Amino acid sequence: METRYKSPEAAIEKLQQLCSRQEKSAADVIMLMKKWGMDPDYHQRIVDQLKAEHFIDDCRYASAFVKDKIRFDHWGIIKIRFILQQKGIPKADVEKVLADVNRDEYRTMIRKEMEKKRKSIRGTPREIWAKMARYGASRGYEMEYMHDFLGDTAEE
The alpha carbon of residue 83 and the mean position of all alpha carbons in its chain are separated, in whole angstroms, by 5
**Among 1-10, 43-52, 126-135, the least confident range:** 1-10
Query: Is the pLDDT assigned to residue 156 strictly greater than 90?
Result: no
Tell me what pLDDT residue 149 has: 80
Query: Sorting pLDDT into bands at 50, 70 and 90, what band is 1?
Result: very low
95 and 107 within one domain: no
Distance CA 131, CA 23 (A): 36
Tell me what pLDDT residue 152 has: 64
113 and 93 within one domain: no
Query: Sorting pLDDT into bands at 50, 70 and 90, what band is 5?
Result: low
Q: pLDDT tens, 17-71? A: 999 999 999 999 999 999 988 989 999 999 999 999 999 999 999 999 999 999 9
Distance CA 85, CA 91 (A): 7
What total number of domains does the chain contain? 3
**Higher-pLDDT residue of 150, 62:** 62
48 occurs within a structural domain: yes
Tell me what pLDDT residue 25 has: 95
110 occurs within a structural domain: yes
Q: pLDDT tens, 74-107? A: 999 999 999 999 999 999 999 999 999 999 999 9
Nearest to 139 by CA among 64, 83, 62: 83
Nearest to 89 by CA among 17, 26, 47: 26
The alpha carbon of residue 118 and the mean position of all alpha carbons in its chain are separated, in whole angstroms, by 25
147 and 108 within one domain: yes
146 and 107 within one domain: yes
2 occurs within a structural domain: no
Query: Sorting pLDDT into bands at 50, 70 and 90, what band is 7?
Result: confident
1 occurs within a structural domain: no
Structural domain for 71, as ranges: 58-99
95 occurs within a structural domain: yes
3 occurs within a structural domain: no
114 and 89 within one domain: no
